[in-house]
A and B are shown apart, each in its own frame.
Chain A
């Protein structure tokens, strides 16, 4: 089983911007080529703290932090997950580096 992990923020701001639909649609897109979660697990995450830049989606261990994600971006993100595309750079680098680092610190847990 893969350790690759995608989080979609379901904090208050992101939820109000429609992160629930983003989660469902991204999961459906990824299921088309990875129905058994062998390449990546897609999970909801309570809040990354980059609320102003929401909707936020992270990929680990790639350490790609996507912000201002909309439904139109999902095919490109799914292609990146599939290995058929590069990170969608127009959606990266939008939030504070220290906010990004918090989630990577947690996922890089030494334990």
Chain B
């Protein structure tokens, strides 16, 4: 079991006290991080006391502590999950060899790119969500937003630790650059397009955490299998925190769907009482789910094949031994491919080249589960309407379906049909204006805006009317 140093300037279980050079580098970066937080983070809420969970260790029981904290005082720490000292590589070409404690020279650039791409998403989402606190539907939800924000900040710390520890001057430059790019910045945007989308209301936020953070879960899970042991252990611990973010989104969209269903069951038009019609919610689901799928990369990808072969990224839960061949050499993956003459054909590709598609399949199954859950809640309200998950080919801008037009049901259509119909499938400006108009700020403990149902339970066994954020 690693030793957790909570008294250090930067809480950690990576022995920072014994590494003066690294400590100096991180302590030099720390004020720049705080400056970033105070400039483009949720800085309007810096003076409030917020009931937050703070990571204080890596054990399953009692790894976190809850208390009131002002966000700038949050103890952003560096924690790696404990693992066996003799961990072995369990997939790819080097199965059975010792996992790497240092970056192999031949994989240096590829690993750095993976870490930077992952790391860049962490501050990006904080920037995207920075104004939402001004229109929170409840204190409970406001706390959830800030919990997600501070933990995304900690995940940035996790990636910066890896860069500064293992990538020398290049890593230090990359750590600086992650604070210089900004979401939606025309001149210096975030690396992945979906992290430049505006998040202007709480339906956006909950869809973001339900779908985009769920993509993050699968990306982190594939890195948690990595042969580069520090990366694997870092991302394993990040997954423990990320689970709450997914739950926030899954429950948040579910609560909005449920409230709409309740109002419909009462014979009310949601638009007349400040709630969100199901067809609008559906368009938001369509937008965020499809944008999230683009983050997985091409379905047929030599890069993905090389990352798997080299042992950098594994399949979901690879270390559980659930796959038949840890080298993935003797199987094909059947891919639906659009043809120039407007048809869809099945095409077999080597499994290694389909690693992004395999991960995407697991993601889609997970998303199908949450939509089914929302529909069960909708069914309980007594209305017959349902929401659905669009087909994986719909509205794609990356991968083999980019450049083609599909309906949400997966039917290949021409450009003219798309132009005529797409406003039925994706949020329009009128939708955004309407949803934004529903965003009333509710800060009385135990009260909720009319477009969202209360959650089933409070945080950390607290009641729903607990004062999760103190404004004084």
- List A residues at the B interface (Cβ < 8 Å): 1, 3, 5, 10-13, 15-16, 20-21, 23-24, 41, 43-44, 46-47, 49, 52, 96, 98-99, 102, 105-107, 109-111
Contact = CB atoms under 8 A, between A and B. Distances in A.
A102 B362 CA distance: 9
B28 interface: no
Nearest to A12: B247
Contacts of A106: 316-317, 322, 362, 365
A20 B316 CA distance: 22
B61 A46 contact: no
A111 B324 contact: yes
A111 B247 contact: no
Contacts of B373: 49, 99
A109 B372 contact: no
Contacts of B419: none
Interface string B40-61: 0000000000000000000011
Contacts of A49: 366, 369-370, 373
A105 to B, nearest CB: 6
B321 A5 contact: yes
Interface stretch (B125-133, B236-244, B259-267): B236-244
Contacts of A98: 369, 372
Sorted from nearest, which 3 A-B pairs have the closest CB atoms? A12-B247, A20-B60, A49-B369
A107 B325 CA distance: 13
Contacts of A41: 320-321
Contacts of A99: 369, 372-373
A12 B316 contact: no
Given A5-B321, A41-B321, A20 B217 contact: no
A100 to B, nearest CB: 11
A3 B460 CA distance: 36
A23 B460 CA distance: 19
Chain B interface, >50% SS class? helix
27 contacts: A1-B321, A3-B322, A5-B322, A12-B247, A15-B243, A16-B457, A21-B61, A24-B60, A24-B61, A46-B243, A46-B246, A49-B366, A52-B456, A96-B372, A96-B376, A98-B372, A99-B372, A102-B365, A102-B366, A106-B316, A106-B322, A106-B362, A107-B322, A109-B323, A110-B324, A111-B325, A111-B358
Nearest to B362: A106
Contacts of B247: 11-13, 47
Nearest to B458: A16
A56 B66 CA distance: 25
A43 B320 CA distance: 8
B438 interface: no
Given A96-B372, A109-B323, A111-B331, 15 more contacts: A12-B247, A20-B62, A41-B320, A41-B321, A46-B239, A46-B246, A52-B456, A98-B372, A102-B369, A106-B362, A109-B322, A110-B331, A111-B323, A111-B333, A111-B351
B276 interface: no
B252 to A, nearest CB: 12
B339 interface: no
B95 to A, nearest CB: 13
B61 A20 contact: yes
B427 to A, nearest CB: 26
